Structure 1
């Protein structure tokens, strides 16, 4: 099978130590971090942010990570239309709504979504969900700015 690599088409983010900052945060809330929030849910949130921000690098990385986490392939493929699905439980739906509001900066709708999170998650888990979404938004915007373009190597 061919490998996918990425080339920067705009700038090298390490010129301003951007990768180092993002990697430091990823140690706490990235896809290999040990957290209180359920690992599969965390991965769905990362992938949803990647979808919303159309980040090729993150879509490829986090689709593979979702499969590696054991998330059913149909659930991964169906994530973009989660609102029209019965594949996601109430806690996942609440977290995905929160994720989307935080990513889209829905200031008016955010407070009730945050309150709804308390029905399913502890204070620590809510903080982790917010950090996961914030971290993914940082990564997606970094990869967009640097022009991380996928290249299929044969």
Structure 2
């Protein structure tokens, strides 16, 4: 095939592993991820909410690798299976607080870059510092999803 994809045995597509092809760029993304984690902690964003945002962004981007990883992380941090089961339709479920709803809507806006700009998340339940930290979280999660999807990271039982 043309481009970075190659046809393998059994018609399985694979791509260039971006982290191995340009490890210094990957390390820079890891540093950005660490900086975003610090910003989230400073802003007082609950670790379970961080995982919910990572999961929702990964759902929107179709990243199975990140979905599996962050669902496991959320469960390990005490998230419930009921909430995880409905995060894809969070606006339909009564499982989420106003702050969680605002954060999920903000993450969706950052991921989709809706035009004209939607501000359904802007209900006052997030501080300016939290809005910034969650926006950065969605931005870096989008980057991680694109690395994983483009590199076709294997996701098998």
TM-score range, shorter-chain basis? 0.7 to 0.9
Q: In the alignment, which residue of structure 2 is the partner of 1:76? A: 84
Aligned residue runs from structure 1 range 36-51, under 5 A: 36-51=44-59
* Matched position secondary structure for 1:71: coil
Larger fraction in strand:
1
Instruction: Give, in angstroms, the shift of residue 30 of structure 1.
Output: 4.4
CA contact (8 A) 2:32 2:140 kept: yes
Instruction: Give, in angstroms, the shift of residue 123 of structure 1.
Output: 1.7
Where in structure 1 are there 5+ consecutive unaligned residues? Answer: 1-7
Greater C-alpha Rg = 2
Distance in structure 2 (CA, Å) of the matches to 1:108 and 1:60: 32
TM-score (norm 2): 0.81
Where in structure 2 are there 5+ consecutive unaligned residues? Answer: 1-12
Q: Deviations over 1:50-107 (max 9, x none)?
A: 1111101100100001111211111011100111101111111111111111101113
CA contact (8 A) 1:40 1:69 kept: yes
Higher relative contact order, structure no. (Cα contacts within 8 Å, ≥ 6 residues apart):
1
TM-score (norm 1): 0.83
List structure 1 segments (4+ residues) > 4 angstroms apart after TM superposition.
none
